[in-house]
Amino acid sequence: MNTLLLDSDDVDENARMAAVIDAVEEAFGAFERGDSQMPAKSYIDLPQYNGDFRSMPAYLDTGEWDAAGLKWVNVHPDNPEKHDLPTVLGTMIYSDPETAVPLAIIDGTALTMKRTGAAAAVATDYLAVEDATSMGVVGAGVQSYTQLEAISEIRPIEEVVVADKDEERTRAFIDTFDDRFDVRAGSISEAGHCDVLSTVTPVEDPIVGPDDVAEHTHINAMGADAEGKHELADDLLLAARIVIDDHEQCTHSGEINVPYHEGVLGDEDIYAEIGELVVGAKEARGDDTGVTVFDSTGLAIQDVAAAHVVYEQALENDNGTSFGLIDTDDV
């Protein structure tokens, strides 16, 4: 029995965004129903290298399919300058739950970008106004691209405003999408007054306040992935309907982690987990709902769901490199 090696190009070719969005939504539902196992993300801190490793295992059963996997990922901010390597590198091991056979070794960096965009799209589908046609993006790094790609799958986005201090990154973003959208550079406030806003920055001092968004804006807060990171002002969070992906992760390292630990924001200020909206346990967006915020830390079940889509599509398309990893001669 062979294992598939799927590199970033294979992920791009086989991670059909609409299918990944559906799979991630199913994963959120399985998590809420208790049909998944997801141990807490574990960290190995390496201050001597200004970096860390993170281990993210999960199993989920949607009722139609089940899957298991482990993502091994890092954050090394010095990599680009010192080693000509990306800050984040990831490897996904996708396994057969019945036999434990490693079905695929998948580039986890490309997979993470796809599933992160898909998670924002799921939240946007439940929380944004139905007729949303404009989208703002704060931060024009690599994650910003899949935010727009995914959200435009579930809302008819026409106008896009991107805010970033780096003119080169802003221009690259605009050049990528100007044949599909009316996209332009703008201020944080201009981006925030769109129907949907995705923030994808690593800041620790909030950059988006209450005056920077419209009365109905849905915000996907995607940038916070470690303690101390904080993109949205406390008074904006307190005035919004907050939906999180997981209580433990969000209070530890999500957008709400700083005000939560300072006692500014409590459990009573958290409206729901996204899985509650998916299974219908909580109302998504009502007629009188104002600003909404999705605090996304990224869950291992999302990686497994995205890996499932990529693997099944790669099999169908005969993509990837097949190799023998397990020796069954002596069994």
On whether 223 is known to bind a ligand per the annotation, the reply is yes
Please answer whether residues 305 and 115 qualify as being in contact, where contact means their C-beta atoms are separated by less than 8 angstroms.
Answer: yes
Tokens for 264? 């500014």
Which sign, positive or negative, has the C-alpha torsion 8, 11, 12, 17? Answer: negative
User: Which residue in 41, 71, 82, 114 is the catalytic one?
Assistant: 71
The answer to whether the annotation marks 296 as part of a ligand binding site is yes
Q: Retrieve residue 242's tokens.
A: 């907050």
Would you call 71 a catalytic residue per the annotation? yes
Per-residue tokens: 18: 């609409």
In angstroms, rounded to a whole number, what is the distance separating the alpha carbons of residues 209 and 217? 12
Residue 224 annotated as part of some ligand binding site: yes
> Whole-angstrom Cα distance, residue 136 to residue 157?
10
Beta bridge partners, 292, equal: 218, 241
Contact 126, 275 (CB under 8 A): no
CB atoms within 10 A of CB 99: 10
Q: Is 304 annotated as a binding residue?
A: no
Q: Which two structure tokens, joined as six digits, stand for 304?
A: 């497994």
Residue 66, φ and ψ in degrees, nearest 5: -130, 160
Annotated binding residues for NAD(+): 115, 142-143, 223-225, 229, 296
Annotated binding residues: 115, 142-143, 223-225, 229, 296
Catalytic residues: 71
